[in-house]
Structure 1
């Protein structure tokens, strides 16, 4: 199948960087949107099952929206039984299982530690790519870049609360497991995208994974009640950003090395904190945002710096 956008565009470094930064900006905007969604849908802080239902509808609608847009231009049902199984496995791991571990982890740890632990996913991506791809080996520049990016994530969370050095298996361990699952599933998705249109792959995996989340949330006792137009708007925005960001990210990974794109994930907690400050009325004029952004951008630069011979 042919892709929606020409491959050469995403094979260019500048275009790939811009696309990756845009994806992370969209995912960062999900933080204040989700927090607003919890209030609008009146979901209690400890009601994990309802949060899973909320996430399930978000990804289910995102996948269906992407598939509906694609079917206007091309057939989307020409998948072999093998490809159906691959996409289903990708949906269960990358969307369903990853978010279950993430939400369970956040219920047993602080938001500060959860954000930092979740950033370990970038390290997992770079390390796994080192063992899987011959042209994506771990280097001194990548190690330094990842360290700088992780430092930026820690800085942006410094004044959000106390950060102790204890480790909770149920809380911190679940968040780290979610990060590992997402990294491994992303590499698996890159492999599938070599034989299947990444847009179609993303649409099906989001829809299937979202459906599993929704059913699992309801079985666990979760509910979701629409409260006026604001509920529709916030869910609509989350649906749109998920379909755009995940589809574009899949295309970027198809044509670029994982080690080049993955470090942009460090931008997510930084942009999420900035956008939360803007839209949730928090103080944006803090030194930590500037330092965190400088560290993250420096880390991305070091990861993609070409070593001179």
Structure 2
């Protein structure tokens, strides 16, 4: 029953994360992107600390933990959210959501390169399929984006920098609660984003005040508090209960709900290349991330042990 409950929670988190691509697209379209992103991530980080303080999980970082979390925040928050916010102003939420589905594959490549993770035949096939899916999406283009755009390139950079952060996070995850690490990264990184926003977008805060509406603020708080803060906490908790490989399979639902959100709320067209690319990415992630191999090996071990 507990595993079933965890699966339901993961499914709901993927729904929220997929729709959050649409929410982010709306926010960066109506406000200056870097400024609103910095404020949104800061709100998410403070929400994480508030929730963790209630369950008494907040503590200071050790010196070693601080530097790993600091470096991870530069990649996971500053670079990732900066490129994402800029990218979504120049491409569709549909393209953005699908390209973000590549995160597990890029993480696998970095793990093979820097952590000594073995490259198997299935992983090689998965990597090829996943990148083929992204290439199919961004090179075909649609009515709004002719061929590969700078926006698509920025989204790819955002996914790559996030993948780098996952490698850094693995270095410290064994001593630090991932939920607390998430809170520290969000607060540290958001302060950098706000400073960058002040430099690049001097009228950013004035624009937030001038363009504010009730509906935009509802989207803002839903994105910051529910999708970013609570969503990441629930996902990290699920990893601890059912394992990273099984939890990562649910990430494949994220691009699907990003497609649904873009279609329902932004009137973006879902074309053949989006569906075909999505199927290639899903297959590629399942094979390339090692999830299928790990689950298969775990079942074989259980069978032999029984």
CA distance in 1, matches of 2:10, 2:119: 20
Structure 1 window deviating more from structure 2 (191-200 vs 247-256): it is 247-256
Cα pair 1:122 1:266 within 8 Å, conserved: no
Partner residue in 2 for 1:305: 292
Distance 1:150 1:205, change over 3 A: same
Provide Cα deviations, 1:182-205, integer angstroms capped at 9, x if missing partner.
Answer: 101012112222100111111111
Instruction: Indicate if the aligned counterparts of 2:97 and 2:258 stay in contact, CA closer than 8 A.
Output: no
1:207-239 Cα shifts (integer Å, max 9, x gaps)? 221222122212321232262322321111001
The answer on whether the counterparts of 1:105 and 1:173 sit within 8 Å (CA) in structure 2 is yes
Question: Can you give the 5+ residue segments of structure 2 that lack an aligned partner in the other structure?
Answer: 301-306
C-alpha root-mean-square deviation of aligned residues, in Å?
3.7
1:235 aligns with 2:220: yes
Write the distance in 2 (CA, Å) between the matches of 1:246 and 1:148. 27
- Tell me if 1:139 matches 2:138: no
Shift of 1:252: 5.5
The structure-2 alpha-carbon separation of the partners of 1:118 and 1:280, relative to structure 1 and needing over 3 Å to count, comes to closer
Q: Is residue 119–residue 153 contact of structure 1 (8 Å, CA) maintained in 2?
A: no
Report the Cα offset of residue 61 of structure 1: 0.7
Q: Which residue of 1 aligns with 2:42?
A: 60
TM-score (normalizing by structure 2): 0.74
Change (3 A) 1:272 1:77: same
The 2-side partners of 1:264 and 1:132 are apart by: 25
| Distance (Å, rounded) in 1 between the aligned partners of 2:254 and 2:108 | 17
Structure number having the greater helix percentage: 2
CA distance in 2, matches of 1:276, 1:171: 16
Q: Distance in 1 between matches of 2:245 and 2:111?
A: 7
Which residue, out of 4, 7, 22, partners 1:32?
A: 22
Matches within 5 A, 1:112-123: 120-123=102-105
CA distance in 2, matches of 1:18, 1:144: 30
For residue 76 of structure 1, what is the aligned residue in structure 2?
A: 58
| TM superposition score normalised by structure 1 | 0.73
CA deviations on 1:155-208 (whole Å, 9 max, x unpaired) are: 66656345536xx8x766554433322101012112222100111111111122
| Whole-angstrom distance in 1 between the partners of 2:125 and 2:182 | 32
Structure 1 residues 120, 293: CA separation in 2 closer, same or farther (over 3 Å shift)?
closer
Matched, 1:126 2:108: yes
Tell me whether 85-94 or 63-72 shows the greater mean CA deviation. 85-94
Aligned partner of 2:147 among 130, 150, 164: 164
